[in-house]
Structure 1
């Protein structure tokens, strides 16, 4: 499905976080047409169809992506933002969080290390169910917001955090009134370099001029024209080792 290794002058790693899923069918079509494999970081977020991104309605979509060779990892089940560290009476770390999905969406509260790990685990298990494949032992904190204590806690429960490269921030969550699709495309084609991890979403509620229809395919085509090939994080020199060293 992916391009031949001999054609590559460099490698980039395109990743998608979940969102309202309105552009998910289009994204899948573009990736298939361009023969590009990506890594999806999934949370169970509210969708335009009134459901959520990891509910049974979307199971066939996720399973089809698994059959195409894409990779998967956790984005925390309820898209749970880290807000601050705290400490319990026993000195163990606590994390103040605020999910944007699920039954406690918008509320701020405190999780223990074990409870935060459950948030990561729950998304991974849901992915295992809907894709029929074991996700990678990776996670991406919503908004990329973390602390050293949070990253250490995740490591203790078996997960490595993955952010994105500065040039890999593709801008699909920025306001379209200030950041046009053409400007975002031009910037990415100019700045992305081999080794970069790129970030996009399967739909952003706040952006009025949707990014994916306008930018995704021209971006892929433009980076290919520069000799860059697309790989999943299972083929990344650092993050791929987590799959090789972990359970099947």
Structure 2
């Protein structure tokens, strides 16, 4: 790892996806001694059923043992669609959602704040069951789609929502014909600044030319060469206080 005196820290994070490049990601991170934060949902995987199923449990255990941090991405990768307000008071009481995994894939329905928090907690519990370690009291809303009321509800349940920096959007879910890996890599190396949270995935079904095999290692070495160092979100100044109170 880079020394603790590093003045340009970045926070690389991965959301689950189809897990098709998970082994590659693990190897690259281990090679360069880079620690990251994984946000996990139980999504359909290219092999082994789903990303939090028994097939992938050893992978998650290994990452935890290496010192990576784990957090929830909601269990069924549940997208927020809209706030539902009480007609009399105008207060948000429920949320319209649509999961992209699980038994209700693709269905739109309404959940209470407590039910939404339980959806976050399910993933955290599964990760703890697999690894024997508590997750960070953080979560990432699928697609980064939120509202102030949704964020507040998650906080009431003990989870702080984590987004990413504009320059930290690494583009691995964009169409590869319009956004080739070379372009995405060059853009990231040019624009990323100290303090940025970076976002990538462990596999995107729709991208024809996967990002990580071509761009992950050059991104890491390029940032290291520029004097950056990598930390997990457990060390992010914006979240350290919350983590200390809620972990």
Aligned residues: 245
User: Alpha-carbon deviations, 1:50-88, whole Å to 9, x = none?
Assistant: 500000110100000001000011100000000001025
Q: Which residue of 1 aligns with 2:22?
A: 24
Q: Which residue of 1 aligns with 2:39?
A: 41
Within 5 Å, give how 1:165-204 maps onto structure 2: 165-204=165-204
RMSD between aligned alpha carbons?
Answer: 1.2
**Comparing 28-37 with 130-139, which one deviates more in the overlay?**
130-139
Matched with 1:86 is 84
Q: How much has 1:229 moved relative to structure 2?
A: 0.1
1:4 aligns with 2:9: no
Contact (CA 8 Å) 1:185, 1:215: kept in 2 or not?
yes
In structure 2, distance between residues paired with 1:80 and 1:68: 28
Distance in 2, Cα, partners of 1:42 & 1:88: 32
Match of 1:241 in 2: 241
Query: Normalized against structure 1, the TM-score is what?
Result: 0.96
Q: Note if contact 1:15-1:38 (Cα within 8 Å) is conserved in structure 2.
A: yes
Deviations 1:68-118 (A, max 9, x none): 000011100000000001025785511000000000000000001111011
Gaps of 5+ in 2: none
Quote the residue 1:72 is aligned against. 70
2:209 and 2:92 map into 1 onto residues whose CA distance is 45
- Structure 1: runs of 5 or more not aligned: none
**Cα shift readout 1:186-228 (whole Å, capped 9, x = no counterpart):** 0000000000000000000000000000000000000011100
Q: How does 1:24-173 map to 2 (within 5 A)?
A: 24-49=22-47, 51-88=49-86, 93-173=93-173
Distance in 2 between residues matched to 1:107 and 1:223, nearest whole Å: 41
CA distance in 1, matches of 2:180, 2:141: 26
1:194-233 map, 5 Å: 194-233=194-233
Measure, in 2, the Cα distance between the counterparts of 1:164 and 1:229: 17
Whether the 8 Å contact between 1:17 and 1:199 is mirrored in structure 2 is yes
1:132 Cα offset (Å): 1.6
Question: TM-score, structure 2 length as denominator?
Answer: 0.97
